[in-house]
Structure 1
């Protein structure tokens, strides 16, 4: 591997470690070549997301530094596709991304949908319904991430695709539920407006009311259903990938547990899974080796119990 690529993959790993800890911990269970590819996909998404969410942040050298967020995102998008067409880049992180995408044969159309969704963040602050949020925004910001990661995970069947998409949706919905306060500060509400109205819930109040509790309980149930469908796809992955995805899935589900334990108070500090819990789960999965699919049937059971409440 060239010095340029080595530097790019190292930086991508650092970005993943700093901003996507669940992805980082899960990827540690993969062989190094797959691990690098996870980092590369995450880094591309992170850099594009920063243009949209943190326009005042000093950008990474691979990100255009001047212009409006729309102009910078358009320039970053054009740069990515130009580098993909050339098959390389002289910037280390972009070089690692292009190397990974071409080597894994990731469909370039995935990145068209991804950049389209990032652009929507600059024009949309609310979404009227769950189908509108899911199909209008999360299709390109979440479901497609599952599709991008799938070639890296080396599935044994094409049937894994729908489950990978569900996992992307599940991860992002958990983020939406956890980050309500942070998103409000950016002027955005990634929650279905019709369902908020039906419950009489008002996130802008930043208060846990009975109406907010019932709204959030409904969202958590939806979220767990997505995780259950994602877990059903684990048997389509080879053992290392099963351990990686299963670990990430479990850690993200624990965020939902903690949201419930906090009485749905997502307004007073970011809810996190403590590092010692992540380390303990990682240690167990690293020690046991391959996960049998039955290890994850507990995910389905927990969803069923919550739906019966």
Structure 2
């Protein structure tokens, strides 16, 4: 397989699987778009291993195999790894961020729960802050030495949005990411009613979600400091990707019950509007 074919393979995965991110990725110029698609494709593979229905031992072995491949990535003939290796030659890709992502997936496999938000933040940094730092290697860091911190914070904001959106779906899988001490303090019990929706007879869960969404909003404020540091097209990409998740958070905060019986998502037209708005703000003179 040629390098061009490897990139095409990775971009096909991204176009198919990155239902939210691809709205932003396609705003990048071709070279950066190819590189970010390569990084996404590998991150998606790692994430899919954790979500697979395979036995635990098989998933653990698969993650170990990816770790080994990363240690000698230039020797791989796998198309995704070929594309990632070439991207790492062209951009300052922190390949160790993939190791952090694997660490986060292994937390899921171990059935980890999180007592405090500080505990949860460690997990969010592994599974999403790592993605922020990988994206930054393609975007370029600008002049602010705190850019990697901003990318990390923006990833943590997005992951908090995912967690609030997927409370019911995760509970069905036996996973609880919300900090247990916070739930106990507010008298929240995560359980399903007879129809399979989140049960919240006294609105304590809704109150908690509003609180957690407000905290996530603060992390967006921190992370979005990255956007002005990027070139115009990278800024548009970053703003579009973050904007779609931020719109989800705004909806959840306004009406937490929307996540009780479904997986909330934005219509395609609204995602498109977010991407176009981000592009317009990036390329038009202020």
Verify same fold: TM over 0.5.
Answer: yes
Distance 1:264 1:201 in 2: 14
Distance 1:208 1:6 in 2: 52
The correspondence for 2:30, drawn from 29, 32, 47, is: 32
Aligned 1:54-69 pairs, distance under 5 A: 54-56=52-54, 68-69=58-59
Q: Is the aligned partner of 1:127 residue 2:114?
A: yes
Q: Tell me if the contact between 1:145 and 1:168 (Cα under 8 Å) persists in the aligned partners.
A: yes
Residue 291 of structure 1, CA deviation: 6.0
The correspondence for 2:200, drawn from 201, 208, 225, is: 208
Equivalent residue for 1:14? Answer: 12
Distance 1:89 1:81 in 2: 10
The correspondence for 2:181, drawn from 194, 218, 233, is: 194
Distance 2:116 2:278 in 1: 38
Q: Tell me if the contact between 1:143 and 1:169 (Cα under 8 Å) persists in the aligned partners.
A: yes
**TM-score, normalised relative to structure 2:** 0.90
Distance 1:160 1:131 in 2: 22
Q: Deviations over 1:187-229 (max 9, x none)?
A: 1111111111111112223223411011101110011001111
Aligned 1:1-309 pairs, distance under 5 A: 4-56=2-54, 68-83=58-73, 87-135=74-122, 137-157=123-143, 158-205=145-192, 206-209=198-201, 210-287=203-280, 289-290=282-283
Equivalent residue for 1:305? Answer: none
Distance 1:159 1:66 in 2: 38
Where structure 2 has 5 or more consecutive residues not aligned to the other structure, the ranges are 193-197
SS across alignment from 2:109: coil
Residue 45 of structure 1, CA deviation: 1.0
Distance 2:87 2:21 in 1: 17
SS across alignment from 2:77: coil
Count of residues paired in the alignment = 279
With 242-251 and 252-261 compared, the bigger mean Cα shift is at 252-261
Distance 1:71 1:108 in 2: 20
Task: Tell me how large the CA RMSD over aligned residues is.
Answer: 2.1
Q: Deviations over 1:160-186 (max 9, x none)?
A: 111111111011111111011221122
